[in-house]
Amino acid sequence: MMRRLVIAVVAVLAETGCQNMPEAYAPPLQRPAVEKFHPYRMQAIVSMSDNDAETHFVQDITPLATSSWRWTGKKPTVRVKARTSEDLRYTIDFVLPEEHFRKTGPVNIAFLVNDRVLDRALYSNAGNQHFEKRIPTGWVSADQNITVAAEIDKVSADLGMVLVRIGITQ
C-alpha cells in the first residue's frame, strides 16, 4: 500500500514538473537616444481666462475680465518665465473687432520679445487672428523673465485688440 502511494506521488510530481519553456528570442535592437527629445513641451502662455492672468500683465491689458478675452491698449505686454531657451515660439491669438476695424482700417502689428521686434504683420481684415513664429536663439535665457508684447499702430477709442492668449511655447 505504501509502495502504491509512493508511486502515485512520484507520478503526480513528475507530471506537474513537465512544462513547456518559452522559445528563445534575441533581445530587441538597441538604438541610440533621440537627441532633443522633450517628453513634455514647455509652455508659458497667458490665457486671458486664467485665474492668475493679471499677475503676468505688464501694460495695456484691461483688468476687466470676461470669460476668455480682454481689451488691450496700444502695446499689450505680459511677463512669463521659460524653463528652457531651446526651440521657443512666440504665440498669440487675438481678435480685430469689426467696429473698430472700420474706423482704423488695416493695421500693422509688431510682435516683440524682450523689446526686440520679432516680426511685423499687416492685417487687412477684421476677425480672429493667430500669429506664431520661432524666437531666434540667444534672444531669451532659461529661467529668466521674458516680456512678450504686440504693438498695434492704430487704436480706436484707446482700444487696440481683443486679446485671447499670448506667450511662448516650445
pLDDT in tens, 139-150: 999 889 999 999
Does the residue 117 lie in any domain?
yes
Expressed as residue numbers, the domain containing 91 is 43-169
Residue 4 falls inside a structural domain: no
Cell of 48: 486671458
What does DSSP assign to residue 159? B
Q: In this predicted model, what pLDDT tens digit does every residue of 2-29 receive, in sequence order?
A: 777 777 777 766 666 656 667 777 777 7
CATH of the domain at 122: 2.60.120.260
What is the number of structural domains in the chain? 1
Cβ burial of 126 (10 Å; 0-12, 13-18, 19+) is: middle
Would residue 109 count as lying in a domain? yes
Query: What is the structure's pLDDT at 19?
Result: 64
Determine the pLDDT at residue 16.
Answer: 63
The cell for 49 is 481666462
Place of cell 487687412: 124
Residue 121 lies in a domain: yes
What's the count of helices (H) and strands (E) in the chain, helices before strands? 2, 9
